[in-house]
Chain A
């Protein structure tokens, strides 16, 4: 019974690979994975908060947190304790029920994404055959939480934030979806596990433009710079969570990082061949790739300024959407016309197409409008 079975992944071997007809197997799998996901997510979020703060510190010629524990490693713990002890303030004229539920609605979908992320071959909570569709559906629910938060505060700044949020997330969902379809076309499946197993070479090489579009739209989806318009500290003072404090604020804060983690994991799965890699154990490969993507997100955050709301819309509709459509079209043709054993031809073709398209768009596309006559 004991032994590694590649078809059932890491956890089949630690637990002695229970036979599928054994009673309780199904529930054991569920219970185990729920615990694993929650522990993994919380531990990684802690690590990410620390990583981001130290990393930003390095980017900004300062030290970052370095007082709590060795190298400040306990800083997220200290933050968590501090935030738990803070007073919970509810605006007097706010909608209390909505105000209470908003953080939950924002946080839960971000966590739910992990149900279909394969940490290793077969090591996932539910290998849905529509995994990627499920992700797109679930991740767009969190906008409801954000809008609820903004609405319930009875605050004009947060209302502006909410208006921006809805416009932004609805717009960026479209290029995001199209870039995923490109991957699904090549992989021939919507299941996350199968997308990884079909990646003999990482899809970032086959879908370079798709990767770019996905990365940019995902940054917009989880409101990271340069698309952090809905919180925009210097303009609308943190937008939707302006009136939140204590644990409810912590939920939003956590949700933001969980989303970042989820996006990194999705990109890893879709474009960077998930857990696959030589020498190191698969789980470690997965982790390394996730951290790399997260580093790229932090890097972008530390480097570039924010764009304006009309520019944001223009960028989604006039730049990303046409590019995504062209990319989808070309991918479709390639999948039909070119024979399967020629991936390298597609790699070079797609890289060339990406270079040409990006050049063309950067030359002819101008961001947003100017002054409005009033």
Chain B
């Protein structure tokens, strides 16, 4: 005989330690089991798309920093690429290499935060999180070296990058590239085969391949479901076609796959950085573009493989100094589409780790 139960609603967020910001889920529970979930967004909505329509193309770069503040470099890159496509600006080769190095460093930094906070959600009391922040700190030091900033870099500009790298950067980068695989091995030793982590994450929150494609999931979430789709390979931008790297894919699309995939992607990123640093040519790093850039009337969609998925900027120009329309294809917002399907039937504790395994950044979701 089944016990008659009554579902009740709890609000997870907007102030909740595991929502990675101000995300809110209205979760309907039957005991501990989730029977319904509705995401409520918009607590960090700043209207960046509207604000950007009142600023010049160059002035908009700092706005892009503030979208996904854990991956500012790649945001800069996607925006700069969209503007360059719109205005037909060529980028010096050295700048392209620097862009690749920076965005791969940024990918590692973003994955470190993503994996760290995912493990924190699993209840590993801060330890993996702090281990990963130790390495992220080194990446931030490298960024500080090139642009003086540690969070919002504003480094990749329209037509190149803002400054050439200082002398001490390449030795420091070399040291990082040599050390990083060892650190990743350390994480694996600590957690990859951890019985509790396996029990918590394996088979939990499965996103099937078809659903992943249908809900336009992108980045690690899509690849963990077994779809070999990475814009760096599928539609190579910048100089990515000159490097050798693999696209890791998952098999089942559960939380554990998403976690493993990010770890493997970090290894691939280290590979790319190594090659890019070796091939780095000499020369200019910035094509001079007018400060009050007036791209010809038209539209352009520039997209890159950001750390969290396909990050795209759609720009419409009416030949004035400000964009007529500025739209961000926010990967993390769209990755959340399938969240409900992944959560239904699991427990409260799983809701938190499923959400954590998607790795969102509210600055980008809400814009």
A and B touching (Cβ–Cβ under 8 A): yes
Contact: B125 with A237, CB < 8 Å? no
Contacting B18 at CB < 8 Å: which of A225, A235, A303, A368? A235
B8 interface residue, CB < 8 Å from A? yes
Segment of B114-122, B172-180, B216-224, B266-274 engaged in the interface with chain A: B114-122
User: What is the distance, in angstroms, from A212's C-beta to the closest C-beta of chain B?
Assistant: 15
**A–B pairs, 14, beta carbons within 8 Å:** A56-B125, A61-B130, A156-B8, A226-B123, A233-B17, A234-B17, A235-B349, A236-B348, A301-B125, A302-B125, A302-B127, A307-B123, A370-B204, A372-B33
Question: A310-B347, A372-B33 provided; 17 other pairs, C-beta below 8 A?
Answer: A56-B126, A60-B131, A163-B31, A225-B123, A233-B17, A234-B17, A235-B18, A301-B125, A304-B124, A304-B194, A305-B124, A306-B196, A307-B200, A308-B199, A311-B199, A374-B344, A374-B345
CA distance A306 to B125 in the complex (A): 8
B352 interface residue, CB < 8 Å from A? yes
CA distance A373 to B127 in the complex (A): 34
CA distance A233 to B127 in the complex (A): 14
CA distance A153 to B323 in the complex (A): 52
Chain B, residues 21-51, CB within 8 Å of chain A (1/0): the string is: 0000000011111110000000000000000
Q: 5 closest A-B pairs (Cβ-Cβ)?
A: A306-B123, A305-B122, A305-B124, A367-B199, A371-B345
Chain A, residues 141-165, CB within 8 Å of chain B (1/0): the string is: 0000000000000001100100100
Contact: A60 with B127, CB < 8 Å? yes
If the complex has contacts A234-B18, A237-B17, A368-B199, are A309 and B349 also in contact, measured as CB distance less than 8 A? yes
B321 interface residue, CB < 8 Å from A? no
Hey, which bits of chain B sit against chain A, CB under 8 A? Answer: 8, 10, 16-18, 29-35, 119-127, 130-131, 134, 190, 194-197, 199-200, 203-204, 344-350, 352
Contact: B123 with A234, CB < 8 Å? yes
Q: What is the chain B residue whose CB lies nearest that of A312?
A: B349
Contact: B125 with A62, CB < 8 Å? no
CA distance A56 to B129 in the complex (A): 13
Q: Across the interface, which residues of B come within 8 angstroms of A225, CB to CB? A: 123, 125
A228 interface residue, CB < 8 Å from B? yes
Per DSSP, chain B at the interface is mixed
Q: Across the interface, which residues of B come within 8 angstroms of A347, CB to CB? A: none
Contact: B16 with A59, CB < 8 Å? no
Q: Across the interface, which residues of B come within 8 angstroms of A59, CB to CB? A: 127
If the complex has contacts A62-B130, A374-B33, A374-B35, are A308 and B17 also in contact, measured as CB distance less than 8 A? no
Chain A, residues 343-374, CB within 8 Å of chain B (1/0): the string is: 00000000000000000000000011011111
Q: Across the interface, which residues of A come within 8 angstroms of B131, CB to CB? A: 60-61
Interface residues of A, count at CB 8 A: 37
Contacting A308 at CB < 8 Å: which of B121, B124, B347? B347
Q: What is the chain B residue whose CB lies nearest that of A164?
A: B32
User: What is the distance, in angstroms, from B253's C-beta to the closest C-beta of chain A?
Assistant: 14
CA distance A156 to B6 in the complex (A): 14
Most buried by A among B8, B34, B122, B190: B122
CA distance A373 to B345 in the complex (A): 6
CA distance A324 to B243 in the complex (A): 58
CA distance A331 to B121 in the complex (A): 41
User: What is the distance, in angstroms, from A151's C-beta to the closest C-beta of chain B?
Assistant: 15
CA distance A157 to B204 in the complex (A): 22
Contact: B123 with A228, CB < 8 Å? yes
Contacting A305 at CB < 8 Å: which of B16, B197, B348, B350? B197
CA distance A233 to B29 in the complex (A): 19
Q: Across the interface, which residues of A come within 8 angstroms of B195, CB to CB? A: 367
Q: Across the interface, which residues of B come within 8 angstroms of A156, CB to CB? A: 8, 10
User: What is the distance, in angstroms, from A157's C-beta to the closest C-beta of chain B?
Assistant: 7
User: What is the distance, in angstroms, from A61's C-beta to the closest C-beta of chain B?
Assistant: 5
Chain A, residues 214-252, CB within 8 Å of chain B (1/0): the string is: 000000000001101100111111000000000000000
User: What is the distance, in angstroms, from B185's C-beta to the closest C-beta of chain A?
Assistant: 16
Q: Across the interface, which residues of A come within 8 angstroms of B352, CB to CB? A: 234-235
Contacting A307 at CB < 8 Å: which of B10, B29, B120, B196? B196
CA distance A311 to B349 in the complex (A): 11
Contact: A370 with B17, CB < 8 Å? no
Contact: B196 with A235, CB < 8 Å? no
CA distance A368 to B32 in the complex (A): 14
User: What is the distance, in angstroms, from B334's C-beta to the closest C-beta of chain A?
Assistant: 24
Q: What is the chain A residue whose CB lies nearest that of B351?
A: A235
Q: What is the chain B residue whose CB lies nearest that of A310?
A: B347
Contact: B345 with A305, CB < 8 Å? no
Chain A, residues 1-40, CB within 8 Å of chain B (1/0): the string is: 0000000000000000000000000000000000000000
Q: In chain A between 273 and 319, which residues have their CB closer than 8 angstroms to a CB of chain B?
A: 301-311
User: What is the distance, in angstroms, from A91's C-beta to the closest C-beta of chain B?
Assistant: 16
Q: What is the chain B residue whose CB lies nearest that of A57?
A: B130
CA distance A238 to B30 in the complex (A): 20
Q: Across the interface, which residues of A come within 8 angstroms of B16, CB to CB? A: 237
If the complex has contacts A60-B131, A234-B17, are A305 and B33 also in contact, measured as CB distance less than 8 A? no
CA distance A60 to B134 in the complex (A): 10
Q: Across the interface, which residues of B come within 8 angstroms of A232, CB to CB? A: 123, 349
Chain A, residues 172-184, CB within 8 Å of chain B (1/0): the string is: 0000000000000
